[in-house]
Structure 1
């Protein structure tokens, strides 16, 4: 697998009142398309280090609504994210792709696969935010306008990319990240500030907090999973508790309800597996798609 690849072309696909940004790499071979979906608070370019290892495949890394260059406000329903991705795939004429998702992005791709059976031929889901059934039936409200998710307090403004790199390089969990992935996260995770001075997070804190706050919005995801009749690999990290961002949120029995599900438990990894060790994540993907 090659370790380098030209910079992508970014295209915008109108969907649900926004322009969905997708970073696209052409292939130098005849491989099937690979579609990447990222975690809450990140963006499509965190996949660059892994995409570089699949030059024979056209690659598409989505900036999920409200993240990266897909400018949007707070998110109340995760099914909207799946609708966005399905619209993009339809407009781009993509079918039979390999879907690679992480966290919220993995949840999104699984929902797309359930609703649009032609979209994907295989899925690799790194620590999908798909919890046990009782999580979705709990009566209490997890977060409210008066008690928002702590992500809303994130530092928003930075003088430069270098300032963000310096601030977070030694902080948990960023100190776990592969250096290239960490720098890609910072470099592509900032946009010119609305004030006209410096830079600000592309995923605004209120948007990130809204994603966490609406994590129970798609309670039908477990029933949807039962309709996904393609080979699907669920890669689960260490499990401690949901209040720890490094802990896996994935229901351990998820692979068991997938018609062709396979469970890969990796207690040696945290929730940030693809960022910690992109080489290992790429190896898992390559083995699962037969390369």
Structure 2
């Protein structure tokens, strides 16, 4: 689909949400809502959008704390991060929504679809990092470690420009498996002018990103999954033994999720890692186009 997006801002009780829009809504035609993963931003969907049919109406927000949206000190509750997007969903009531969420974006999508069931026509959960129920039960009431001690908090935050960031990551997994154009989008739109000094800072501050990871099991989505009414498609990456909580070469999603949700599609794209939208944007776009 040709043409760049229009950038919008929306005031919400949790802070300003930045969102991007391609195309125009059309009565009787579904719109596409795209939700990104932890530490990323809305413009990582650019290559998926480019592969959609011309005229498709697409909306992609930056989650709270990410991209160009408001930056709280931490993100301690994924449910609250989800609810920050409810005002945006409420703006899109003129057309039925096909929602597609990757990783944390898939978790967020389930919450939105449960809170606004009439808004959604279909949900596509792309490796949505929803774990088996017992893990949420085990984590309940446990203290959350200081984000400063998490390895993500030690990520390099300051760069001279997106080109330097791109050159650095192009030599490192998992980015070596991404399509080069997607990596360029990640770097180009993933930096903001530094608030102090020269250069550019990551649009998702490392300590804030670390707080997202540390709170992944804080709120069980099984509290609301049964409130969803739209058909669900689950797409999972290859399976295997994860070497750490940050090993995304294989799927972190519970293999039984599709059955638990009564998914109409439960597929494993075994040739891909967790970063399916970055490795196979055209394939994902084809699936979404069929649903639209």
TM over 0.5: yes
- Answer yes or no: is the 8 Å Cα contact 1:148–1:213 preserved in 2: no
Per-residue CA deviations over 1:108-165 (Å, capped at 9, x if unaligned) read 0011101110121101111001000111011584850177321101000000111101
What is the aligned partner in structure 2 of residue 34 from structure 1? Answer: 32
Output one character per residue of 1:215-248: Cα deviation in whole Å (capped at 9) or x when no partner.
01221x1242222221111000012325312221
Whether the 8 Å CA contact 2:139–2:217 is kept in 1: the answer is no
**Match in the other structure for 2:278:** 275
CA distance in 1 between counterparts of 2:184 and 2:147 reads: 34
Measured after TM superposition, the shift of residue 254 of structure 1 is 1.1
Match of 1:63 in 2: 62
Aligned to 1:256: 259
| Alpha-carbon distance, 1:21 to partner | 0.5
Task: Report matched runs for 1:43-62 at 5 Å.
Answer: 43-54=41-52, 55-62=54-61
Cα distance in 1, alignment partners of residues 109 and 195 from structure 2: 32
**Is the alpha carbon distance of 1:139 and 1:57 closer, same or farther for their aligned partners in structure 2, counting shifts above 3 Å?**
closer
The answer for the alignment partner of 1:245 in structure 2 is 248
* Partner residue in 1 for 2:8: 11
Aligned length: 285
3-state SS in 1 of match to 2:16: strand
Distance change (3 Å), C-alpha of 1:148 and 1:23: same
Question: Could you say if the C-alpha distance between residues 94 and 176 of structure 1 is closer, same or farther in structure 2, counting changes exceeding 3 Å?
Answer: farther
Number of the residue aligned with 2:209: 208
**What is the RMSD computed on CA atoms of the aligned residues?**
1.9
Which residue does the alignment assign to 1:226?
A: 226
Higher relative CO (Cα under 8 Å, sequence separation at least 6) belongs to 2
Most deviating of 52-61 and 157-166: 52-61
Do the aligned partners of residues 192 and 11 (structure 1) sit closer, same or farther apart at CA in structure 2, a change above 3 Å counting? same
TM-score, scaled to structure 1 = 0.92
Alignment-derived partner of residue 186 in structure 1: 187
Match of 1:161 in 2: 162
Matched, 1:144 2:142: no
CA contact (8 A) 1:227 1:258 kept: no
Q: Does 1:134 align with 2:134?
A: yes
Q: Cα gap change, 1:248/1:16 in structure 2, threshold over 3 Å: closer, same or farther?
A: farther
Tell whether the 8 Å contact from 1:23 to 1:60 is kept in structure 2 after alignment: yes
- Distance (Å, rounded) in 2 between the aligned partners of 1:256 and 1:265: 13
Displacement of 1:179: 1.0
In structure 2, the partner of 1:85 is 85
**Structure 1 stretches lacking a partner, 5+ long:** none
TM-score of the aligned structures, taking structure 2 as reference length: 0.91
Q: Does 2:75 correspond to 1:72?
A: no
Give the aligned partner of residue 100 of structure 1. Answer: 100
Secondary structure class of the residue paired with 2:118: coil
- Report the Cα offset of residue 286 of structure 1: 2.5
Please list every run of at least 4 consecutive aligned residues from structure 1 whose deviation after the TM superposition is greater than 3 angstroms: 27-31, 91-95, 139-143
Pick which of 170-179 and 51-60 moved more: 51-60
SS in 1 for 2:153: helix
2:227 is paired with a residue of what secondary structure? coil
In 2, the alpha carbon distance for the partners of 1:142 and 1:273 equals 32
Which runs of 5 or more residues in structure 2 are unaligned? none
Kept after mapping to 2: 8 A contact 1:161/1:187: yes
Secondary structure of 2:123's counterpart equals strand
Q: Any conservation in 1 of the 2:236–2:268 contact (CA below 8 Å)?
A: yes
